[in-house]
Amino acid sequence: MTLQAGAAILAGMKRSQTGSRFTSDAGILRLMDDLGSALSGSDKKYMLGGGNPALIPEVAAIWRTQMARMLDDTDRFDRVLGQYDTPQGRPRFLQAVAGMLNREYGWDLSPDNIAITNGSQSAFFMLFNLLAGPGVNGAPDQTVLFPLMPEYIGYRDQSIRSIDFTSFLPRIEQIDEHCHKYHIDFDALTVPDSTAAICVSRPTNPSGNVLTDTEVARLDRLAADHDVPLIIDNAYGTPFPDIIFSDVQPIWNRNIVLSMSLSKIGLPSLRTGILIAREEIVRAIGSMNAIMSLANGTVGQAITEELFESGEILRISRELVRPFYQRKSRHALEWTHRVFADRFPYSVHRSEGSLFLWIWFPELPGSTADLYERLKARNVVVVPGRYFCFGTHDQWEHTDRCIRVSYAMDNADVERGIERIAEEVERIWSAA
């Protein structure tokens, strides 16, 4: 069923304000609907819009080996599939994650500092609604502050209300004619009294931007000074899956909520999010897990717990996952510059991590929402930039001139998709 058909059915249904909000035309819903629709039909599709990781053969072989070992151990297999774990997560897995991070980085973690969620998307739904919204006993409303737009499309509609985010626009460094980078504008950044948490992603989806260690340390101090947690979405970051191409250090302390995931290392369908936080936040997430879903899915934890115990998960990330995506990034960049050269103005954000190129057409007639529709008609799925800016009242024309392009697909598909992007942008220019 298409998004439009679903909306027509829902129009006649009685809904609460919350129900109406979560069945509206959200950016993440439109993206997933378009991706699903693109998979139907017989025409060749160029799926450059979603965040699905690539299938890396060497990594997939490891998952098959781990699954086979679990299948061969009848008692273990029966327990994994036939028993609930605690709402906080699988005890052995919690210990394995804590032990690995303590050995590698000297962090003082116990299993009480780790909560498992059914994917990081649901983790952020719980975090944002735990912290932001109407205050208790008549206290003022609370918000989550995003110090750097653009940010992940999936955050935009996570809060139960639509007014619980505050965000700031970046300082744009133009590195050369066809490359730029976003920086936090600390001169403009303020922390309102309503702030309940500061949130960033590293690397940032959609732009591939990586906050420097200095920027993160400065945000950490700012959060501590205002007695609010700093939430770092580390879904693509170090130490795993390590899809990060610059030299940065993992960071955690008791004022940081660090969100990780097994998705981008190659297990997206097992929906295993990992939150590292101080004990009271972990207990709150465990309580919300119990209410929302009783317990978490266990298979992802069970497949990988031995890899955390041995530290093998880090070798997989450093030696297999990161080099694979670095090669993909270089190839997509080189192809983009080759195909776009001398045809129209453009700039690509410096590719420092994640699975995406963030392409800016600074003088594009119209918006990339129009470009998005034109590309869909040619079986190319990208994501228009407007969905990645939220929480600000400023009209930021910049995002309406940007698109997010995934390079996780087969290189030939990425090449052909980029060629069609160039053709459509050129047509828009010619018609203007």
Which residues span the domain enclosing 154?
84-316
User: 375: number of CA atoms within 13 Å, CB side?
Assistant: 32
Query: Is residue 35 in a domain?
Result: yes
Please identify, among 295, 316, 337, the residue that sits at the C-terminal boundary of a domain.
316
One DSSP character per residue, 382-405 reads -EEGGGG--S--S--GGGGGEEEE
Kindly state whether residue 67 falls inside one of the protein's structural domains: no
Same domain, 328 and 264: no
Residue 71 lies in a domain: no
142 falls within a domain: yes
Are the C-beta atoms of residues 273 and 282 closer than 8 Å to each other?
Answer: no
C-alpha dihedral, 6 to 7 to 11 to 16, nearest 10°: 100
- Shared domain check, 53 and 96: no
Domain stops at, among 289, 316, 343:
316
Residue 308 shares a structural domain with residue 334: no
Closest CA to 349 of 404, 394, 392, 387: 404
Which residue, 286, 316, 346, sits at the end of a domain?
A: 316
Q: Tell me phi and psi for residue 97, to 5 degrees.
A: -65, -45
Q: What angle do CA 384, 122, 213 make, to 5 degrees?
A: 70
The answer to whether residues 20 and 148 belong to one domain is no
Residue 230 CA, distance from chain mean position: 16
CATH code of the domain covering residue 311: 3.40.640.10
pLDDT of residue 305: 97
In whole angstroms, how far apart are CA 87 and each of 127, 280, 301? 15, 14, 13
Q: Is residue 285 part of a domain?
A: yes
How many residues in the chain? 432
What is the Cα Rg of the chain in Å? 22
Q: What gap in Å lies between CA 372 and CA 380, rounded to an integer?
A: 8
Task: CATH number of the domain at 327, please.
Answer: 3.90.1150.10
pLDDT score recorded for residue 158: 84
Separation of alpha carbons 51 and 206, rounded Å: 10
Cα 257 to Cα 285: distance, rounded to the nearest angstrom: 12
How many Å apart are CA 343 and CA 327, to the nearest integer? 26
- Res 39: pLDDT: 52
Helical ranges in 45-108 per DSSP H: 57-72, 74-82, 91-105
Note whether 174 and 280 are same-domain residues: yes
Q: Give the Cα separation of 265 and 376 in Å (integer).
A: 28
Residue 79 lies in a domain: no
The DSSP secondary structure of 229-281, one letter per residue, reads PEEEE-TT-TTTT--B-S-------TTEEEEEESTTTT-GGG--EEEE--HHH
Which candidate, 7, 49, 12, places its Cα nearest to that of 32?
49
Same domain membership, residue 382 and residue 287: no
Asked whether residue 152 falls in the same domain as residue 235, the answer is yes
- Quote the pLDDT of residue 167: 94
pLDDT in tens, the chain (432 residues): 555 555 555 566 776 666 676 676 655 666 666 656 655 566 788 999 988 999 999 999 999 999 999 999 999 999 999 999 999 999 999 999 999 999 999 999 999 999 999 999 999 999 999 999 888 877 788 999 999 999 999 998 887 876 789 999 999 999 999 999 999 999 999 999 999 999 999 999 999 999 999 999 999 999 999 999 999 999 999 999 999 998 899 999 999 999 999 999 999 999 999 999 999 999 999 999 999 999 999 999 999 999 999 999 999 999 999 999 999 999 999 999 999 999 999 999 999 999 999 999 999 999 999 999 999 999 999 999 999 999 886 678 999 999 999 999 999 999 999 999 999 999 999 887
296 and 328 part of one domain: no
Q: Please give the pLDDT value at position 135.
A: 81
**Whether residue 163 sits in one domain with residue 237:** yes
